[in-house]
Structure 1
């Protein structure tokens, strides 16, 4: 599943990933949809940093600014040590979603 349905509109996770991975500190990036009570789903950017890089959520959101529609902007950035790849070398989104199944968006309310 490479699209996220947010408020009845489709967001391309692949487009966001392709831009995010262009950041000089990013080794791998994945985008998944997280449940949201108002919008159904909202994008979450998952980043594996290159070695010896420091986590800074805002830096990565700022990097996307102006490159994607405002309503495509991820609601959160999650840093991970590893992003699983499938046999073909592509990101295994199913496994990424499984690993983050208990994740709750900070924008989703209580």
Structure 2
């Protein structure tokens, strides 16, 4: 099963990022469409036309594990 990942560049408080996305998308999108995990990176790799290199990001984070919730 694939997971929705978001890539963030810059200084964002990791603990509040999920709540901020839910608040932003509230009523506009189903919760299952909101990214399950945010990966913080130093920069977004671009191709010559200025578009994101999605394949490079997927290759770089193919083994990224989602955090396990504490119960």
CA–CA separation in structure 2 for the residues paired with 1:61 and 1:82: 24
Identify the structure with the greater strand proportion.
1
> What TM-score results when the alignment is normalised by the length of structure 1?
0.50
Identify unmatched segments of 5+ residues in structure 1: 1-39
| Aligned-residue RMSD, C-alpha | 1.9
> What TM-score results when the alignment is normalised by the length of structure 2?
0.71
2:12 aligns with one of 34, 54, 70: 54
Q: 1:48 to 1:67 in 2, by over 3 A?
A: farther
In structure 2, the residue matched to 1:97 is: 58
Identify the structure with the greater helix proportion.
2
Cα deviation code 1:46-105 (max 9, x no counterpart): 1112xxx43332334433333322211111111111110111100100011111122112
Q: Which has the higher contact order (CA 8 A, sep 6+)?
A: 2
CA–CA separation in structure 1 for the residues paired with 2:60 and 2:4: 16
How many pairs were matched up?
A: 65
SS of equivalent to 1:74? coil
